[in-house]
Amino acid sequence: MNALEIEGLRKCYPGFTLQDVSFTLRQGTIMGLIGKNGAGKTTILKSILNLIPTDGGRVEILGMPSPERELECKAKLGVVLGGVDFYRDKKLSAITDVTKRFYSNWDEVAYRRYMEEFSVDPDKRVKELSAGMKVKYLIALALSHHAELFLFDEPTSGLDPVSRDELLTLFRALTADGSRSILYSTHITSDLEKCADTITYIKEGRLLASGEKEDFIRSFDHLREPGEAALTLEDIMVRTERREFHV
């Protein structure tokens, strides 16, 4: 069973169209979703979550069609679309007390274990947390209802190098036993060099390429300069998106 299957996903806005995007995320793997600002990455994530109506296509989450089985799908999802920026004066324990009511399979023992393992104090207020701690808290919530698919939108943005590396190590640990999968949208392509198994590249609303990381990189060998070593993901994005300016 695949963790996620997207086929012919389409969404039209004035001046922008997400055009027939298709890709598959294998269970137990991490997929990096890359592209410039405005390429359509967040539109894809919101479409998966049924936060916006789509204009066509098919979404299947852990073998279940969405949105037809939306509640069952979302019970298996862990979502980090940004930091915890709501209720800044609330303690984490108060936010957790509300959150856990939405999950019939909430595991309080697991929650306490993950909070301790991640060194997140439930008596802290949201405004007292660093950006990295906010992401860890959201991951702890997701793990506590036994999420099997994680959707991350720029989870390491704004973090210092040590915090970023710590989170990347955590992401690899999440998928190590093959039971959990991650779709990870980011502009920090060096992070994906360290943790991603596959890469999906969206350009101007269209799927440019998708595949195993090594195969994906080799497919852009035509962008290499004579005698140049293998390209990085950043090289690929910069050279693919490069524009000429006449000033």
Chain segment 19-56, per-residue pLDDT in tens: 999 999 999 999 999 999 889 999 999 999 999 999 99
Name the band, by pLDDT with cuts 50, 70 and 90, for residue 207: very high
pLDDT tens, position by position, 64-86: 999 999 999 999 999 887 655 67
pLDDT of residue 85: 67
Q: The tokens of 133 are what?
A: 């701690």
Task: Please identify which residue in the block is written with the tokens 């000033």.
Answer: 247
Lowest mean pLDDT among 8-17, 28-37, 115-124, 163-172: 163-172
* Interval 88-102 mean pLDDT: 93
State the pLDDT confidence band at 61, using cuts at 50, 70 and 90: very high
Instruction: Please give the domain boundaries of the chain with CATH numbers for all domains.
Output: 2-76+148-240 (3.40.50.300), 83-147 (1.10.8)
Model confidence at 91, in pLDDT bands (50, 70, 90)? very high
Dist CA 147 CA 27 (whole Å): 13
Checking if the pLDDT of 243 tops 80, the result is: no
Tell me how far apart the alpha carbons of residues 116 and 196 are, in angstroms, rounded to a whole number: 27
| Overall average pLDDT of the 152-174 stretch | 85
H or E stretch covering 115: helix 108-117
Q: Residue 88's pLDDT is what?
A: 87
CA distance 32 to 237: 13
- Helix H or strand E segment including 45: helix 41-48
pLDDT in tens, 189-202: 988 998 999 999 99
Band (155; pLDDT cuts 50, 70, 90): confident
CA distances to 13, 42, 139, 155, 218 from 115, rounded to whole Å, are: 40, 28, 9, 18, 40
DSSP string of 167-196, one letter each residue: HHHHHHHHHTTSS-EEEEE-S-HHHHHHH-
**Structure-token pair, residue 104:** 């019939």
Using DSSP's 3-state secondary structure scheme, residue 67 falls into: coil
pLDDT value, residue 82 = 65
The pLDDT, as a whole number, for residue 246 is: 67
Is residue 159 over pLDDT 80? no
pTM confidence score: 0.90
Query: How confident is the model at residue 104, as a pLDDT?
Result: 87
Q: How high is the pLDDT of residue 51? A: 93
Angle between helices 131-144 and 108-117 (to 10 degrees): 150
Contact residues for 235 (Cβ-Cβ < 8 A; gap 6+): 223
* DSSP code, position 91: B
Which tokens sit at 31? 């997929």
The pLDDT of residue 205: 96
CB 76 within 8 A of CB 149: yes
Give yes or no for a contact between 192 and 180, defined as CB atoms under 8 angstroms apart.
no
- Determine which helix (DSSP H) or strand (DSSP E) holds 22, and give its type and residue range: strand 16-26
Mean pLDDT for all residues in the chain: 91
Instruction: Say which residues have a Cβ less than 8 Å from residue 206's Cβ, sequence separation at least 6.
Output: 19, 20, 21
